[in-house]
A and B are shown apart, each in its own frame.
Chain A
Amino acid sequence: ISAGSRLLRGRGGHVVIRFALGGCTNRPFFRIVAANSRRARDGKYLEQLGCLDPLPNAHGEKVAGLNLDRLRYWLGCGAQLSRPAEKLLGLAGVLPLHPMTVTGAE
């Protein structure tokens, strides 16, 4: 029995959709991931739902991909979102704009 299941058999976690950080030094890269909330940030996840490249590319764009099909499934299953994930989806237009974005802007 691995360490992960010991964590999970105790009280019960929930599914979250959050960013998992990857990449190298001075080169972050986020994967948008549906995982159990008690897992490590970069650990085993249930499913990858997309990615985000926070550094702009040669055309001045920050590329992000979102698997909307599966995102809708997990949200339907009752997954929660982390705050940066909510902000990103608000920017994308999937969810309404997050109030923190608005307050931050002001």
Chain B
Amino acid sequence: MAALGARGSAVLPTRLRALWALPVRRALAKDAGEGKATQPKPAFTDEAVQTLLYKMTGLDLHKVFRPVKKGLKPPHYKLMTEAQLEEATRKAIEEAKTKLIMPPVLNEREPIDDVLAEDKVLEGTETAKYVFTDLSYSIPHRERFIVVREPNGVLRKATWEERDRMIQIFFPKEGRKVIPPTLFKDENLGTVFQQERHEDVLNMCIAQFEPDSPDYIRVHHRTYEDIEKHAKYDLLRSTRHFGGMVWYLVSRKKTDGLLIDMINRDLLEDATSLITLYHMLHPECQSAKEAKEGKLQGLDLIKVFVKTESQREGYIQLALQAYEEAMATSSAS
């Protein structure tokens, strides 16, 4: 896992940039620049942060390559030697790494509010507004001109929702609908969460909305809140959404449930990386200072963190004790 992490940090930035280049070119360049400069707060895209999040995501091959509903075909068996099997597993791990690239986490976009012209002469001539889209093929979608001529004669730039709709009409993308499905409304999300299909909802959300649209952010936050309320962290564990969820929880300091879950599943490394990430994001908290002074590692780090920062101290202490007992019995026997 450590070896994978080391290799991953070299490969991730270019892949991230290539993958996120199209929709988030401008925003990403700005964030990357700020991260490299002396900005105190680390961004989601920093390499150190990404490595930590990637390690925590885990790599359960059985879950990543879970059978997707496709056409029925009889299973295909191959006869391989040991060496070939290792080779095949290695290739599978490479593919799984591409599937686990995290979708971007951006701030909400500013609403567009720009009037280009006002022609009071046209008032009363038209009944409906005209939406003009520039259909030139070689312009990125973010820079397209989409203007609206209102019935009162005002020529203004289109709002983000109108822009997304028009771009989907003229340049349709697979998996996206022109009018967002009613699934993404708050009342319907509850039903989906009861069926434990958080991952499907997040995949649909990524296909439908742009990463900086308020709907995308709202659906993601709702999903993360629900998971945190019911402690269903394992649903997202080996998927590409795990990093985003951890980032959300750590920025809002709601890491206790996740910590308990990790200790219960004996994932001590993940717990330590979670706490390291917490310290990177909130360097002014007490446990961060103590950890830096004492250069603590592993269990000691967790204990210091639990004493100073967590709300559910009792639960975490219990979980730690159970873990230590289990370690003692296994090493004894």
Contact B121–A64 (Cβ < 8 Å): no
Q: For the complex, is A23 an interface residue (Cβ under 8 Å from B)? A: no
**B residues whose Cβ falls under 8 Å from a Cβ of A:** 116-117, 119, 121-125, 127-138, 145, 147-149, 155, 162, 165-166, 169-170, 179
**Contacts A97-B121, A105-B122; A92 near B135 (Cβ below 8 A):** no
| B128: A residues at CB distance < 8 A | 56, 60-62
Contact B145–A97 (Cβ < 8 Å): no
16 pairs, A vs B, C-beta closer than 8 Å: A61-B128, A61-B129, A61-B130, A62-B131, A63-B169, A65-B135, A65-B170, A66-B132, A68-B134, A91-B149, A92-B130, A93-B147, A97-B122, A102-B121, A105-B123, A105-B124
**Contacts A62-B131, A63-B131; A92 near B149 (Cβ below 8 A):** yes
Contact A69–B136 (Cβ < 8 Å): yes
Q: 18 more A-B contacts (CB under 8 A) besides A64-B132, A66-B133, A67-B135?
A: A56-B128, A61-B131, A61-B162, A62-B129, A62-B131, A65-B132, A68-B145, A69-B136, A69-B137, A92-B149, A93-B116, A93-B149, A97-B119, A97-B121, A101-B122, A102-B121, A105-B122, A105-B125
Q: Considering only CB atoms, which chain B residue lies closest to A55 in the complex?
A: B128
| A104: B residues at CB distance < 8 A | 125
Residue total for A at the interface (Cβ-Cβ under 8 A): 24
Taking the closest CB of chain B, its distance from the CB of A97, in whole angstroms, is: 6
Complex alpha-carbon distance, A63 and B179, angstroms: 15
Complex alpha-carbon distance, A92 and B125, angstroms: 15
Q: Considering only CB atoms, which chain A residue lies closest to B148 in the complex?
A: A61
Complex alpha-carbon distance, A92 and B166, angstroms: 15
The residue among A56, A104, A105 with the most chain B CB atoms within 10 A of its own CB is: A105
